Amino acid sequence: MKILAVLKHFLTNSNQQVKFHRHIMKIGNLERSHRELFEVMDELYTLFPEKLSLNRAEIQAYIEHKYPSRDITNLMDVIDSAMATQIGPEVSLKLIESVIEFQLANKAAAMMMPIIGNQKSGGLYDGLNEILQEYSDLVTLADKPDQLQDCDMSYEEAIRFRATDTGMSWPLQCLNKFIGGIEPGLGLVMARPDVGKTSFMLNCMAWWAAILKKEGKGRQLLYCGNEEGIVGLKARCGVSLLGVTTEWAEQNPVEFGKRVSDRSGDLIRWHGGVKSTRDVETLVKRYNPVVTILDQLPKFIMPGDKAEGPQRLLNMYGWFRDKSKELDSAMFGVCQAGFTANNKQYPDDGDIHNSKTDVAGELDYGIGIGFVKDPGMEETRFINVFKNKKKYGRKGRGTCHFNADKCRYTDA
């Protein structure tokens, strides 16, 4: 009965079909007739995107055209049964969630029965984690508004909007020029060890916190780290925010703390020990941050994903990119550049993980920070926007000054 009600709901509401079709199709034990009808509806809505609903005659005509020699009596009986259901649209979203929950519960039970019967052992933890992650992914959209949007702007208005809508800015003008303002999507900054990638990330967080406090945007920032000490990072971010030396901050802790709070509004949420995509999703849903920092991004794990090596990274980066847009939080990953970036002015996509994966394809933008070991260049850093799907896709290079003691990057 429930799956028939979902069929009816998709027949009468194209927006909901677009929104939930791929999730329903992930259910492993759908009856063949139900699966075929879901696929037919998806094909019809794709062919005729202006249609808001489908009727029995349209379904029948399409199937007869596609399979002229096939007996479709059973499929049409399913359509009739679906249309006869009395469950209305007001309960449809909960219904879809209930269907998904029921199917995944059956999947979990099937996984546990051989273990209960002593027929096998091992793999239960990973298997259940995979099911829980799948459930979380499938039902998240039920709480989100429809993402289809109409654009009523003229072309003139659109180009003016594109040129002036910058969102929160970056602390470096070259990034404002090439990337533009902060918006949902996945960005990556990389550099070799001790070049200053963590300091760059902290500088950006301090800059954005000051903007949020000043403009009263009502949102926060989130740091998710799995490696470096969280306390030390928080202190360095405060140093960057005020532009003072570490020595001054250590000598004036009370004044330092007060000035940082006044300037930033304590809008940064700091979390260490964040190990998995599930941890990140939980925190983003809790705080609704405008920006989420993912320190040491390649070291995160994605429960349930059995891929290894380059494919694991591709899957994970794609997950973060999708979640960024779904949860309306720009995600900003930080990672170590490969050894090929040693003493290199402008690291590029070939230096990500030593070119072992085409992870750049999953990025909305990528930033390489370079450093060369020449006399007089100790505080000079080179910025390379090597990947960019924003601001007309502009790529570019810039030069800046890095003050390690103040944890600050400034335009050269």
- What amino acid is encoded at 247 in this protein? E
From CA 291, how far away is CA 208, in angstroms rounded? Answer: 9
182 contacts: CB under 8 Å, gap ≥ 6:
167, 168, 169, 170, 208, 290, 291, 330
- Tell me the torsion sign for CA atoms 382, 386, 390, 394: positive
Element containing residue 127 per DSSP (H, E): helix 124-140
| Residue 303: per-residue pLDDT | 86
Residues in contact with 261: Cβ distance below 8 Å, sequence separation at least 6, in sequence order: none
Question: Can you read off the two tokens belonging to residue 130?
Answer: 């995979």
Nearest to 64 by CA among 49, 76, 79, 77: 76
Residue 238 is predicted with a pLDDT of: 95
Residue 353 is predicted with a pLDDT of 72
**Residue 172 has what pLDDT?**
93
Written as one letter, the residue type at 296 is Q
Q: Where are the beta strands (DSSP E) in 254-348?
A: 268-271, 289-295, 330-336
CATH superfamily of 166-411: P-loop containing nucleotide triphosphate hydrolases (3.40.50.300)
- Contacts for 35 with CB less than 8 Å, ≥ 6 apart: 25
Is residue 187 within 8 Å of 235, Cβ to Cβ?
no
pLDDT at 167: 65
Which helix (DSSP H) or strand (DSSP E) does residue 189 occupy?
strand 186-191
Phi, psi (degrees; rounded to nearest 5) at 244: -100, 170
Ranges in the chain, pLDDT < 70: 1, 23, 26-29, 86-100, 102-103, 120-123, 130-131, 133-153, 156-167, 217, 227-228, 354-357, 391-392
Helix 2-12 with 92-116: angle, nearest 10 deg? 140
Instruction: For 289-310, write each residue's pLDDT tens digit.
Output: 999 999 999 999 988 888 888 8
**Predicted pLDDT at 143:** 46
Q: What is the pTM of this model?
A: 0.64
